[in-house]
Amino acid sequence: MKNNIDINNIPKEKFELIGERDLHDVKFDTKPIGYFQDAWIRFRKNKASVAAACIILFILLFSIVVPLVSPYEINYSETGYSNKLPKDKFLMQFGIATGQTTRKMNLNAFTKAMAVGMGAADVNGTGDVTYEDGYLNEYSSVKVIGDPYMSQDAVYRDVSVDVYLEEGFRFFRVTEAELESMKAWEQATGKKLLYPMIDTKNDHPGTEDANVWYKTKSGTLQPVSVKQVIGGVVTTPLDITAGDKLVPNYLYDSQGNAIYATPSDSTMWRVRVLYYNYYQWAHEGKEPYHLLGTDNSGYDICVRLAYGIRLSLLIAVCVSVINLVIGTVYGSIEGYFGGWVDIIMERISDVLSGVPFIVVATLFQLHLSAKVGPIPSLLFSFVLTGWLGTAYRVRTQFYRFKNSEYVFAARTLGASNSRLMFKHIFPNSLGTIITSSVLVIPGVIFSESMLSYLGIVAIHGDAGTSLGTMLSSASDLFTKYPHEIFFPALVISLLMISFNLFGNGLRDAFNPSLRGVED
């Protein structure tokens, strides 16, 4: 009795019979959720795995898009701009990737740094440029001058410099045609490329530094006023201590005009060029901007990183797929037939599992890489024993499901062994197999990086590189140029963490025992 209603006194006309057709319509009003759909729903609820999948996708897109949009190729190398900091024209507006660093300079180092801008301003070789002219020049490597301080009985100052502009000037040997091309480029662009030659024998015997265009007058050191520029606006002057005066040390002809080229031999000329503009002349007006900087060979790190990600992921995925195929077939045969078949195959697995991977990889690189190349030999190293883990998991799953009732029913109906193995048992093991295959990828990436870092595997040069090779090349320069090792290390770390989180999400999503379970 509920709400004072007597169910025994309800009139018969209030009831309505439901036919068999109507009953089935109600029963199938909602669609059943499939195995993969249910797995996808549970995977989406794992926020860490979804975030990891997004990171993996971003890294993959980076490796695909960067080589397509970058002005640099994988084999591009400019040794004059090796070990340079990140610099990007757009990001510089926000104070990011400016290509600048702070150096501690004494008087001589500071004078030489200031002389780069002064030399760039002295286009005619008259020598009448001032410190202020050099500091305000667009090619001055000095950007911010710190206050002087005493250190170890000497005066120092912290100076912010543009590492691309501090290259300053260089000597080159060019042909007559190249010399004329340089002059034509100057007229077409309005930029100065050729600068007065230096008398390297006068006051600087044996000196081949194209930036030392000056001689210094001896005398008492005096403060020189240089105006500081902040945001393009000239502000208060700075007092910097320097020599009395920088005296030009150029070569002049009989009329007193600066000489811009001297004959090197019958066909070549020796010139002194502003390297920043020389780069633009040699590369059709392109300025040296490198988003992630350059390495010790002058390669663009951004492009090399993209190709390194491609190669590392390609090796990892290939190893994962090959191990999946071999391990699935091997493990399914072991688990399904059992008995003496399982005993023999397990003993083979035990022997292979006792072989050290690093020994196999080293031997393959020593004796096989010369014939097939370092990458195929590396694949052989991973595949030789890499499938054992997958085979063990598949074997365990087959032992778990082969005596199930649905398998017995299929066998009773005349299903063949191959049908029972791959049609009835294997699908129930799919979640575990997929998860183990995904988790192989970060292990391969880490192992490849370790082998490359140790120098066992050599994947470098103009044709390509790997993440481990980039780490190995930058390891000796870590304290001086940390950006060269930071970016590949960051990518490896993200791939390792993301693939592990992604694999854990797949493991939970494909777990049959969690099917239909709500979090």
3-state SS string over 142-194? EEEECCCEEECCEEEEEEEEECCHHHCEEEEEEEHHHHHHHHHHHHHHCCCCE
The answer to whether the beta carbons of residues 270 and 197 sit under 8 Å apart is: yes
Say yes or no to pLDDT of 250 above 70: yes
Listed residue (189, 195, 206, 155) closest to 172, CA to CA: 195
Say yes or no to pLDDT of 62 above 90: yes
Contact partners, residue 374, CB within 8 Å, separation at least 6:
365, 457, 458, 459
Residues 182-221 have pLDDT tens digits of: 999 988 888 999 999 888 765 544 457 888 888 765 544 4
The answer to whether the beta carbons of residues 112 and 141 sit under 8 Å apart is: no
* Helix (H) or strand (E) segment spanning residue 439: helix 426-454
A 10 A CB-CB count for 421 gives 21
Residues 352-381 have pLDDT tens digits of: 888 888 888 888 888 877 787 778 888 888
Residues 386-429 have pLDDT tens digits of: 888 888 888 888 887 777 787 788 888 888 888 888 777 877 77
Helix (H, G, I), strand (E, B) or coil at 321: helix
Average per-residue pLDDT for the chain: 80
The Cβ-side half-sphere exposure at 294, using a 13 Å CA radius, reads 23
d(CA 337, CA 421): 10
Residues 418-455 have pLDDT tens digits of: 888 877 787 777 777 777 788 888 888 888 888 887 77
pTM score, whole prediction: 0.78
The residue ranges of DSSP E strands in 385-481, in sequence order, are none
* Superfamily of the domain at 49-67+300-514: MetI-like (1.10.3720.10)
- Phi and psi, residue 5, nearest 5°: -105, 125
Contact partners, residue 77, CB within 8 Å, separation at least 6:
297, 298, 299, 462
d(CA 156, CA 165): 21
* Domain spans, the chain: 49-67+300-514, 81-282
Place of tokens 């060269």: 484
d(CA 378, CA 311): 12
Tokens standing for residue 411 = 């066998």
* Helix (H) or strand (E) segment spanning residue 238: strand 233-242
